[in-house]
């Protein structure tokens, strides 16, 4: 297990380094800059050059990259060009919305997928299986932002049982969670469609293994064998897909947060892109990359804990 963890940590570190290069390079080649945006189209070239020098945008790319990485390592994310304030508090305030939203969406997705996948696998080829697969087909075809708009129209405008948008803050946890329910459903239902199909396929494959026939021969009921033997062995591909889905949740949240006017990370990134506030965008994208890579590392560890064969392959 120690060798497995060492290998995975090495891959994690290398992936983070590559991600930092890619993020910085993409931001560097984008047209326009913060100085031109802040001063407006009537600014003189001298004024733009002076502001670029003040913001450090006139320095070589290698110097800017080095300063950015050293700042990240020290926990100093820099100062926003547009807001004129430290970036760390801006991102911290956004994460108090985005992380609970992503966690709620992932929990909802996992609950739906587990129930639907087990139900469909247990009734393979029957009406229940066909109904679940039809639901997943619809879920795969529906964009999360379109579902979010429909939910606003139905539950906020027509039924008036949920807020149409905004976030009251965590001073009132009940209202805060209520404001995140519709966005979480819009994100989670779409992801649940994918995860349900993966869960069903993994369970059907596990149900055909020799250990299942052995368990049934020993007198274990089909339902008990499904939950005690098939499901634990089917969790490895399910957990892997869940780790990959976290990136999709964050990407989908960028649009969904704007539909529900939530002050999350997605909305901060969209505003920063409009303002050419590249340093904020860099920090946000890098943070998302760190979260996704770290979560996939935890998924690898969890899969190795469930299936010892993965540890032996690493050795």
Residue 172 in contact with residue 249, Cβ under 8 Å?
Answer: no
- Cα-based distances in Å from 224 to 206, 218, 229: 14, 12, 8
Write out the H or E segment, with its range, that includes residue 168: none
If phi over 0 gives left and psi between -120 and 50 gives alpha, with beta otherwise, what is residue 228? Answer: alpha
Between residues 128 and 30, the one the model is more confident about: 128
- The pLDDT tens digits for 197-224 are 888 888 888 877 777 778 777 777 777 7
Q: What is the DSSP letter of 139?
A: H
DSSP secondary structure of 231-274: HHHHHHHHHHHHHHHHHHHHHHHHHHHHHTT--SHHHHHHHHHH
Q: Supply 172's token pair.
A: 């009132």
Q: Name the pTM for this structure.
A: 0.80
Q: In angstroms, how far is CA 301 from the centroid of its own chain? A: 19
Instruction: Please return the burial class of 141, using the count of CB atoms within 10 Å of its CB with bins 0-12, 13-18 and 19+.
Output: exposed
- The pLDDT tens digits for 93-139 are 888 898 888 889 988 988 998 888 888 888 888 888 899 888 888 88
The rounded distance, in Å, linking the Cα atoms of 116 and 120 is 6
Task: List domains and CATH numbers for the chain.
Answer: 90-274 (1.10.3720.10)
- Cα-based distances in Å from 77 to 24, 59, 277, 304: 14, 18, 13, 34
- The pLDDT tens digits for 222-260 are 777 777 778 777 777 787 788 777 777 776 777 888 888
The rounded distance, in Å, linking the Cα atoms of 211 and 225 is 10
């Amino acid at each position: 297990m120690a060798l497995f963890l060492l290998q995975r940590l090495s891959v994690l570190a290398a992936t983070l380094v590559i991600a930092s290069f890619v993020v910085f390079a993409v931001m560097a080649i984008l047209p326009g800059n913060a100085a031109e945006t802040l001063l407006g189209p009537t600014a003189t070239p001298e004024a733009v050059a002076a502001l670029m020098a003040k913001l450090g945008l006139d320095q070589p790319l290698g110097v800017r990259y080095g300063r950015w990485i050293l700042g990240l390592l020290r926990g100093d994310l820099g100062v926003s060009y547009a807001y004129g304030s430290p970036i760390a508090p801006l991102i911290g305030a956004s994460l108090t919305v985005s992380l609970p939203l992503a966690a709620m969406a992932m929990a909802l997705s996992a609950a739906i997928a587990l129930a639907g996948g087990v139900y469909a696998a247990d009734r393979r080829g029957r009406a229940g299986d066909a109904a679940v697969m039809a639901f997943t087909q619809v879920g795969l075809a529906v964009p999360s932002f379109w579902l979010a708009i429909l939910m606003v129209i139905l539950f906020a405008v027509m039924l008036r049982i949920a807020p149409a948008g905004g976030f009251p803050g965590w001073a009132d946890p009940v209202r805060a969670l209520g404001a995140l329910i519709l966005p979480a459903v819009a994100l989670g239902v779409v992801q649940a469609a994918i995860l349900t199909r993966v869960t069903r396929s993994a369970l059907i494959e596990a149900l055909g293994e020799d250990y299942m026939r052995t368990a049934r021969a020993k007198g274990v009921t089909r339902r008990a064998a499904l939950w005690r033997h098939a499901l634990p062995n089917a969790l490895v591909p399910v957990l892997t897909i869940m780790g990959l889905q976290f990136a999709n949740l964050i990407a989908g949240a960028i649009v969904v947060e704007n539909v529900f006017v939530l002050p999350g990370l997605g909305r901060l990134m969209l505003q920063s892109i409009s303002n050419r506030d590249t340093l904020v965008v860099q920090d946000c994208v890098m943070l998302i990359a760190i979260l996704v890579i770290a979560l996939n590392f935890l998924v690898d560890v969890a899969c190795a804990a469930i299936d010892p064969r993965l540890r032996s392959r690493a050795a």
